[in-house]
Amino acid sequence: MAIKMKDLPTSERPYEKLELYGEKSLSNAELLAIIIKTGTKEETAVDLAHNILALNKYTKEDELNFLKNLSLQELMEIK
């Protein structure tokens, strides 16, 4: 079973980190996790965000622009 977000230290939770340190302190995965809002029994929202970011085939840089080109089918393949 995956670690739950509430089990993480407050300084590592995306919402709390945003409040404490501002958006510049968050990774793209953390920003995406805030949009996703919730995870599954097996993965946190941050884990899911990392899975989505792993779909980036176009560049090795950690950018979010590729998201606009993802199909619904590609997104639905992520649990």
Side chain identity at 24, as an amino acid letter? Answer: K
Q: How far apart are CA 12 and CA 5, in angstroms?
A: 9
3-state SS assignment for residue 61: coil
- pLDDT per position as a tens digit, 5-27: 777 777 778 888 888 888 898 99
- pLDDT per position as a tens digit, 29-79: 999 999 988 888 888 889 999 988 888 876 666 578 888 888 899 888 887
Domain ranges of the chain: 5-76
